[in-house]
Each structure stands twice: as C-alpha cells, then as structure tokens.
Amino acid sequence: MTDKIIITIDGWSSCGKSTLAKQLAKKLGYLYIDSGAMYRAITLYFLRNNIDIADEHKIKQALKNITLEFRVNEYSHQSEIFLNEENVEYIIRDLIIAEKVSEIAALKEVRSFAVKAQQKIGKNKGIVMDGRDIGTTVFPHAELKIFMVADETVRVERRFTEMFDKNPNITLDEIKANIEMRDYIDSHREISPLRKASDAIVIDNTHLTEKEQLEFALGLLKKRKKAVGAEK
C-alpha cells in the first residue's frame, strides 16, 4: 500500500472524530474532509434562505444554488469549508446550526447531494474523512475504517468546552439535550443511518489522550498495510 488510500472515521457526536481525522491527515500528508461541515453549511444556507424542509421542490431548488468547497488555510494548514465562495468554517459551529443539522442531514435529497460531493472529493484517494455514514455509504470499500465511541458524560464535557468560548451562557444541560437529540436522529433516520460498518475497527477514546488515540490509529494502519501485503 504505497499508494494513497481512503481512511473513514465514523461515530457519535463529540467522540473526537475530527480531532483524530486531522491528526492522521497531517501525519500522512492527506487531505482532511469534515463531512459534517458540508451538512452544516447546507443547514446554514437553508436557515438563511428560510427553506421549507417539508417542500421537496424547494429543497431541490435550494441545493442547485449551493456550491461547497474545501480550501486549505495557508496559516493553519487546515481545510476549511466555503459555501458559495464564503468561508463559513466558524459560522457553522454555532449551536443554532447544531440544533438543526441532523434534521436537515436526514433529508434524502440533501443526503444524496452531499454523498455525491464527498465521493467526488475522494476520487483520487489520499483523504481522511469523518462523519456518520462514510464507511457504510460514502466509501464502503475504504481501505481503513474506524468507528469512534466515548462515554456520554465525556462527550458532553468536550462539547461544552468547545462551545463555551463562543457562548458563555451555554449550559451542560443544553449540550446534553442537543447531543442526545442528534444521536437519536442520526441513528434512526431512514437514509444512511449512523451504524458501524462490519469491517470498521472501534476506538473508545473515553480515557485516551489525543497522542494515544493517534498512536492507536497509526497502529491500525500499519496492521492494515501488512494484511494487504499478505493478500497480494
């Protein structure tokens, strides 16, 4: 496996998927793609334009007016998402978006639009993509699939820390309710529900440091390379 591959990282909200994905991308020289950012950007567009999500025609028309692109920030060297040429990387992290994104991401038209865009990005491989259905629907034949989990209490604390700087009035109860709502919608939606791919490897990072989870993932990658080499 000297050629570049596709690495997928799925899992529950606030399990550290993006942190690990960014770590791996940086270590391997790959492009990091935050699939959740795509759904958040679409959600932002829908909210800004008062799109009625019960109207299939309006949803389809809205999607025709959306262009999504990832560009690497020259200072942070991290990929950031652009919605119709506007950098919305930080706007989409607001709790208002978080409260609506699972509902909008569950729409079949939105799902189809995003999956096609994600598959196009991964055509040349050399990417690490995180999300909810990357290893099951977007890239079912990815060379390495990871599924991340963590205790709910830890997930709530992580999200609270992340959100507090942006909104000091946020409470743990609000964060907990949001995470539980998103978990339910993500795992019960009709189209591409959140589930572990049969060949995905679970990483429980409840008690792992960022360094430890990276080392664990790199160990998985090394084993995968050996396995593929043995198959040839």
User: Which tens digits make up the pLDDT trace of 100-135?
Assistant: 998 999 999 999 999 999 999 999 899 999 999 999
pLDDT in tens, 5-14: 999 999 998 9
Per the annotation, binding residues are 11-19
Q: Where does the pLDDT of residue 3 fall: very low under 50, low under 70, confident under 90, or very high at 90 and above?
A: confident
Residue positions forming the annotated binding site for ATP: 11-19
Helices (H), the chain: 17-28, 35-48, 56-64, 95-105, 108-121, 152-164, 172-188, 210-231
Does the residue 120 lie in any domain? yes
Q: Which helix (H) or strand (E) holds 137?
A: none
Q: How confident is the model at residue 143 (pLDDT cuts 50, 70, 90)?
A: very high
- Is the residue at 194 inside a domain? yes
Task: Give me the helix-helix angle, 95-105 and 35-48, nearest 10°.
Answer: 100
Residue 231 banded pLDDT, cuts 50, 70, 90: low
**224 inside domain:** no
Residue 69 inside a domain? The answer is: yes
CA 55 from chain centre, in angstroms, equals 26
User: How many domains are there within the chain?
Assistant: 1
- Rounding to the nearest 10 degrees, give the CA dihedral for residues 171, 174, 177, 180: -70
Taking the model in full, what pTM does it have?
A: 0.86
**Which residues have a Cβ under 8 Å from the Cβ of 104 and sit 6 or more positions away?**
39, 42, 43, 46, 53, 110
User: In CATH, what number is assigned to the domain containing residue 78?
Assistant: 3.40.50.300
Residue at 220 is within a domain: no
Q: What pLDDT was estimated at residue 135?
A: 97
Q: Is the dihedral of CA 70, 208, 6, 112 positive or negative?
A: negative
Is the residue at 223 inside a domain? no
Task: Single out the residue of 121, 130, 127, 144 nearest to residue 30, CA to CA.
Answer: 127
State the distance between the two ends of the chain, measured CA to CA, in whole angstroms: 10
Residue 228 lies in a domain: no
Which residue range is the domain that position 111 belongs to? 6-214
User: Is there a domain that residue 230 lies in?
Assistant: no
Return the closest-CA partner of residue 109 out of 51, 169, 177, 154: 51
